[in-house]
């Protein structure tokens, strides 16, 4: 197999909020060439009550970015937003809400870096978490905009959750492979929308090997190959961290029936999949093990094999609090990857971008 080279063209600071923690971005390129990035912003820490969904834009391939626009601010912690442009040109955002900060506050009330002052600032949010509030807001959601994100429709509940959200298929459907936590039994659910994301139904589930419980599978992403098959990859949490290799499943019937998930041998998480203009698949993921960083792997045959031995380092990181990269291909064929990590030592995390290209492709 001929090795494909790559070149880093530029690294960008996409968004930074001094003193605040930003995380888990996703990116879409619109038909007009605009880049839109969503992330969880205005946070105290990795887990806290205050996360919101924010959106920034670039008109110049990521060189400069707009000020953040607020999209979601529910009474709970808004996390892991994904974004796509739908076949009809709408923007669709996915995200989930969390009450993990309630337990976290008790665990960290005396911990260095948190302490009673920070946790005291959470008290009002913690006391507001009633069963009624959880029934109203705890779960996974999607939301659409038909005017480029200037305004947004009402949130709609979905069953599954995944950091980078649904994928748009060539037949006009939207397909969302996610982990179901709240509505119904634990499963890897496959949902579809035939009306551009306005309504959703469960189409199937992804099976896992008998010796690998669903509880180890998280944060999937799905892509359609050139031949119309669907490929989904999953974060997999093994008993030992050195075995945390992503799993993969395939569907040849549009998402109803899926193969039993298999080990890819690629250490890292979570996955983001992109079909390039030449039909190859690009997998971008975070390596939260030494050496830390954002990695990319190519497949020339629709995900049946991958060039695991020649991983591309899109962006190194100083520590493990980083990752969740997502990549788009720009109109000139170059690539743009967003992720989160510290921009400089001692700071809280920011949203960063890398403009890069594959050589000879």
**Cα–Cα distance, 361 to 356 (Å, whole number):** 13
Q: Write down the mean pLDDT value for the chain.
A: 95
Q: Which residues of 32-48 are buried (b: 16+ CB within 10 A; e: fewer)?
A: eebbbbbbbbbbbbbbb
Q: Which residues pair with 141 in a beta bridge?
A: 95, 157
- Eight-state DSSP code of residue 320: S
At residue 309, the 3 state secondary structure works out as helix
Tokens read off for 115: 């302490």
Ordered structural domains, the chain, with CATH? 12-158 (2.120.10.10), 159-323 (2.120.10.10)
pLDDT at 74 exceeding the cut of 90: yes
Per-residue pLDDT band for 113 (boundaries 50, 70, 90) equals low
Task: State how far the Cα of 295 lies from the Cα of 310, in Å rounded to an integer.
Answer: 10
Q: Average pLDDT for residues 192-208, to the nearest whole number? A: 96
pLDDT band at 64 (very low <50, low <70, confident <90, very high): very high
> Which residue in 163, 143, 142, 160 sits closest to 151, CA to CA?
143
Average the pLDDT over 259-272 and give the result: 96
Give the pair of three-digit tokens for residue 150: 């200037």
Asked if 54 and 42 touch (Cβ cutoff 8 Å), the reply is yes
Examine the pLDDT at 1 and tell me if it is beyond 70: no
Helix, strand or coil for residue 53?
A: strand
Which helix (H) or strand (E) segment holds residue 117: the answer is: helix 115-127
Is 181 a residue whose pLDDT tops 90? no
Q: Which helix (H) or strand (E) holds 136?
A: helix 131-137
- pLDDT tens-digit readout, 124-143: 999 999 999 999 999 999 99
- Please tell me the predicted confidence (pLDDT) of residue 184: 72
Average pLDDT over residues 318-326: 96
**Cβ count near 240 (within 10 Å):** 7
Are the C-beta atoms of 85 and 166 separated by less than 8 Å? no
DSSP code of 115?
A: H
């Amino acid at each position: 197999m001929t090795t494909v080279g790559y070149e880093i063209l530029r690294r960008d600071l996409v968004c930074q909020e001094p003193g605040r923690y930003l995380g888990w971005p996703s990116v879409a390129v619109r038909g007009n060439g605009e880049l839109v990035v969503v992330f969880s912003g205005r946070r105290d820490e990795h887990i806290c009550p205050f996360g919101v969904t924010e959106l920034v834009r670039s008109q110049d391939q990521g060189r400069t970015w707009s000020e953040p626009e607020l999209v979601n601010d529910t009474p709970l912690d808004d996390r892991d937003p994904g974004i796509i442009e739908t076949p009809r040109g709408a923007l669709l955002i996915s995200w989930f809400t969390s009450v993990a900060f309630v337990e976290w506050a008790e665990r960290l009330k005396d911990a260095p870096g948190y302490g009673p002052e920070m946790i005291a600032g959470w008290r009002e949010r913690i006391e507001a978490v009633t069963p009624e509030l959880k029934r109203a807001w705890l779960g996974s959601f999607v939301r659409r905009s038909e005017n480029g994100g200037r305004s947004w429709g009402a949130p709609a509940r979905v069953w599954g959750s995944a950091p980078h959200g649904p994928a748009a298929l060539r037949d006009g459907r939207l397909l969302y492979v996610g982990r179901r936590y709240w509505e119904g039994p634990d499963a890897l659910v496959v949902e579809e929308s035939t009306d551009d994301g306005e309504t959703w139904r469960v189409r199937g589930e992804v099976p896992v090997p008998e010796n690998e419980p669903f509880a180890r599978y998280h944060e999937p992403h799905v892509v359609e190959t050139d031949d119309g098959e669907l490929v989904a990859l999953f974060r997999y949490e093994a008993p030992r961290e050195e075995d945390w290799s992503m799993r993969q499943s395939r569907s040849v019937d549009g998402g109803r029936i899926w193969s039993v998930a298999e080990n890819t041998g690629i250490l890292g998480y979570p996955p983001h999949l992109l079909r390039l203009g030449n039909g190859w698949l690009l997998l971008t993921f975070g390596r939260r093990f030494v050496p830390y960083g954002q990695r990319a792997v190519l497949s020339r045959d629709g995900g049946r094999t991958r060039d695991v031995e020649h991983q591309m380092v899109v962006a190194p990181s100083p520590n493990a609090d980083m990752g969740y990269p997502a990549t788009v291909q720009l109109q000139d064929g170059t690539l743009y990857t967003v992720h989160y990590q510290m921009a400089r030592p001692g700071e809280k995390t920011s949203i960063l971008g890398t403009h890069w290209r594959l050589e000879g492709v």
